[in-house]
A and B are shown apart, each in its own frame.
Chain A
Amino acid sequence: MSHAYGMPVAAPHTTTTNSPGRIMLLVMMALAPATLYGFWLYGWPAFYLWLITIMAAMFGEAFCLRWQNRQAWAVLLDGSAVLTGWLLAVSLPPWAPWWIGVFGGLFATMLGKQAFGGLGQNLFNPAMVARVALLISFPVQMTAWMGPVPIFSPGAPGSFEGLLIILRGMPSGLDGLTSATLLGYAKTELSRGVDLFQSTPHMPVLSFFGNRPGSLGETAAWLILAGGAAMMALRIITWHIPLSMLAGITIPAAIMHAIDPGRYLDIGPHLLSGGAMLGAFFIATDYVTSPNAPRGQLIFGFGCGLLTYIIRTWAGYPEGVAFAVLLMNSMTPILDTYFKPRIYGRDSRGRPLQTAN
């Protein structure tokens, strides 16, 4: 009858089976269809680049953890380094050389994440930090877009050939396959003084199914949408950031296109070319770097969309998702401070509600 039950522990005495590892795994599963489609579309080199980037990200994380004398395996198992590497990989040109993946992966986890203190501490999205670092440092490699060469189609590199392409760089015979993205092409033509009415017929085709030049995993809008819907159904993300980000692109695009269709692209190219979809569902929704209250999330998402549109339309780069997300990441602490949820029994400013009597 007398039995001691050890140290007291705080309530609650029951807890969820959810874990960061499970969340990361579900996000990866949601991202998998678009990624697999990317492998099929751009062939073996894309797969190798993906693998190299993830391994580099994991290595960077493990290295930093060992440096801090921490157990690396336990932390790596939470999957966050894999996901960071994966998100970076799908935002890279699919045939980029191996050292792009290595540099990016290491940069993402070491400087983008561990330098801030590891999981949950970083101010900026690590994958986008690495992507922007790569884009600024290696603009040529980072804008060499492959046209689709589906994996079993004639002319597509085999598994060994693909590995050589990633390790040695693109063979000269295949150079002709690279092309600009629609956004890049339109920007170049506009800067030459060719308006959209004349350049549109020569533009790369737009496809909801992803059959276009672009980053490894950003082209298949339908698969990204499906992944996003799955994450919402599983309550991993809410609708606030994705929808407001797409609205932030769509609304200015619709207005400006209506004002001057010769100068400003339509909604379609804005949503279906470049990383808008990937950014809205998988990048901007990163827990650590986005606000945690609904109103803050709506402003954050809309800001990401609007900045993306502004950078694409008036700034020097044809694509602006990564820059926009990073800029809005820096706003997150401010948004969290000013847009808190209303507390029960208090008004929106935090003052106690008035009673009738």
Chain B
Amino acid sequence: MGFLDHFLKAPSWGVHPADHKRPAADAPLRIFPSPARVFMPLHQHVGGVARPIVLVGQKVRKGELIAEAQGNISAPIHAPLSGTIAAVGEVTAPHPSGLPFKAITIDSDGRNLWADVEPLADPFSVAPEEIARRSAQAGVVGLGGATFPSAVKFALGKRLKVETLIVNGGECEPYLSSDDRIMRDFADQVVDGARLVMHAIGAKDALVGIEDNKPEAIAAMRVAAAPYPEVKICPVPARYPMGSDKQLIQTLTGKEVPSDARAAEVGVLVHNVSTCAAVHKAIRLGQPLVERIVTLNGGAIAAPGNIYAPLGTMIGELLAFVGMKEAPSRLILGGPMMGTPLLHDRIPIVKGASGILAFNAAEAFVPEAGPCIRCGNCSKACPMGLLPLEMAARIRIGDLEGAAAFALSDCISCGCCAYVCPSHIPLVQYFSHAKGELTAAERSRLRTDATKRLAEAKAARIERENREKAEAAARRKAEREAAKAAAAQPGSAASAAVEKTEGASA
């Protein structure tokens, strides 16, 4: 009963956009020839900006540390090729603002020499903390897009005694296939990385969730995981956003992550397949994260496919490498559902860059937004069970608190609502705007509160000081009086005595 199965087991949430993954996913992985110059941004992760430790003119080798982590949540940056530091300065951020940010520019020497590495021969004999330490040193961050420093998550998993590692091979975003490719071509690295992560967090088993639209990846992963019964390959229905951690956890384990808690608190931790492969390289080969697979796809690209490229490579160079059929009408970093539009292609790829999409005019077409007809398709599609139409109606009239009462903060910005909206209302933009405004209001409220607290404390202190001063003055006065009185007393006693004596004498 395939049909009935489909009907009963398919999740009630989400959307099913045309995935456009093939033929890009089926094209063999291409290696990008070493670029002449790379631009390594210092902030490619969640958390503190890395601090440069190299000087202009300094020679570096591939994999050498060029900027160190700063703060508890941060990640170091390594040289993606061997060469000379050309500049430590500003380039354009991969962000719609197009604002500049700090990066280290390296001129390649064309030799691509690796720095000395120290692989760990038997990682399963070392303490779990050592895996986390080495992953942190190698600059491994979540490669599914969140770019959260992995070692911090390992420590969290270890502390909260996580039982199950979930390896996210969902890759539910249309067009993207970099995770698909890594599972097909480097399945053994992914499985080994998953086992290393299990060791690092003390998990007993690993569930690898792969959407069933990637049968080749499922087959390759099954072969690679065959010797390890604790690593289970679990095909999941292809449904966007299956690759969102909350939805994947629910699908694989039936557990729901409470809205105010982290996944680790229900005993699971999610890591992306590419992150696992990066952990494998960091531990087994001693290689830091300096390269990644990037999907180049979209109607404007002549030969779409996956490219293995050093981080810091300009997007324009990658586009030139795959060839353009026409000038793209829109350039997107990431997938079409959650990706960031780019204003131009003079932007380097970063650790979290899973794909670059160059859309032709037809793909980039944005229908005009119309009025909400309250059809409710958005709330049926919402994987979080929210009511996008009600929140949008309130945000439209500026009632942000009203929208927040509909649990706006639980929105994961997956874009399902805006995708299904027949009136093409840019719902995600509404929500991002409201979240930003609410965060700003919250921040300013906290600041006002802090100011108020300080002002009140100051007033209290001044009052206390004045009181103390007054008390002290009163005390001093009393003392003075007492002293005077005391001084007068012997005097008066003496005079009395004198009088007495006088009287006596009289």
Measured CB to CB, the residues of A under 8 A from B are 1-6, 8-16, 18-20, 22-23, 78, 80, 118-121, 287-288, 292-293, 336, 340-346, 350, 352-357
Determine if B340 is an interface residue (Cβ-Cβ < 8 Å).
Answer: yes
Residues A341 and B410 in contact, CB atoms below 8 Å apart? no
Minimum-distance CB pairs A-B, first 8: A12-B415, A8-B96, A10-B429, A345-B259, A292-B376, A353-B258, A1-B316, A352-B260
Residues B373 and A119 in contact, CB atoms below 8 Å apart? yes
Determine if B47 is an interface residue (Cβ-Cβ < 8 Å).
Answer: no
**Nearest neighbor of A10 in chain B, beta-carbon distance:** B429
| Bound-complex Cα distance A293 to B377 (A) | 10
The smallest beta-carbon distance between B330 and chain A, in angstroms, is 6
| Bound-complex Cα distance A344 to B11 (A) | 13
The listed residue (A1, A15, A118, A355) touching B367 by CB distance below 8 A is A15
| Bound-complex Cα distance A118 to B373 (A) | 10
A356-B420 contact, Cβ under 8 Å, with A13-B341, A288-B373, A344-B259: no
| Bound-complex Cα distance A353 to B259 (A) | 7
The smallest beta-carbon distance between A188 and chain B, in angstroms, is 40
Residues A345 and B258 in contact, CB atoms below 8 Å apart? yes
Of the stretches B381-389, B464-472, B477-485, the one at the interface is B381-389
Interface residues on B, range: 35 or more
- Chain B contact residues: helix, strand, loop or mixed: loop
Chain A residues positioned under 8 Å from B410 (CB to CB) = 343-346
**Nearest neighbor of A14 in chain B, beta-carbon distance:** B336
Listed by A's residue number, 30 A-B pairs whose Cβ atoms lie within 8 Å are: A1-B320, A2-B345, A5-B343, A6-B330, A6-B343, A8-B343, A9-B366, A10-B429, A10-B432, A11-B336, A11-B341, A12-B419, A13-B336, A13-B337, A13-B339, A13-B341, A13-B359, A15-B424, A16-B420, A121-B371, A287-B375, A292-B374, A340-B387, A341-B387, A344-B384, A345-B258, A346-B258, A352-B261, A355-B258, A355-B266
Q: 19 extra interchain contacts, Cβ-Cβ under 8 A, other than A119-B371, A343-B407, A344-B384?
A: A1-B316, A4-B343, A5-B343, A6-B343, A11-B336, A13-B336, A15-B421, A16-B421, A18-B377, A19-B370, A23-B422, A287-B376, A293-B387, A341-B379, A346-B407, A353-B256, A353-B261, A355-B258, A355-B261
The smallest beta-carbon distance between B355 and chain A, in angstroms, is 12
A356-B266 contact, Cβ under 8 Å, with A2-B344, A4-B344, A288-B374: yes
The smallest beta-carbon distance between B335 and chain A, in angstroms, is 8
Chain B residues positioned under 8 Å from A15 (CB to CB) = 366-367, 418-419, 421, 424
A120-B259 contact, Cβ under 8 Å, with A13-B341, A15-B421: no
Chain A residues positioned under 8 Å from B267 (CB to CB) = 356-357
Measured CB to CB, the residues of B under 8 A from A are 17, 96, 160-161, 174, 246, 250, 256-261, 265-267, 314, 316-317, 319-320, 327-332, 336-346, 357, 359, 363-364, 366-367, 370-377, 379, 383-387, 389-390, 406-407, 410, 413, 415, 418-424, 426, 428-429, 432
The smallest beta-carbon distance between A265 and chain B, in angstroms, is 34
The smallest beta-carbon distance between A74 and chain B, in angstroms, is 9
Residues A5 and B342 in contact, CB atoms below 8 Å apart? yes
Residues A120 and B338 in contact, CB atoms below 8 Å apart? no
The listed residue (A1, A2, A22, A357) touching B265 by CB distance below 8 A is A357
Residues B336 and A120 in contact, CB atoms below 8 Å apart? no
A3-B387 contact, Cβ under 8 Å, with A14-B17, A18-B422, A352-B260: no
Chain B residues positioned under 8 Å from A4 (CB to CB) = 343-344
Residues A5 and B331 in contact, CB atoms below 8 Å apart? yes
Chain A residues positioned under 8 Å from B265 (CB to CB) = 355, 357
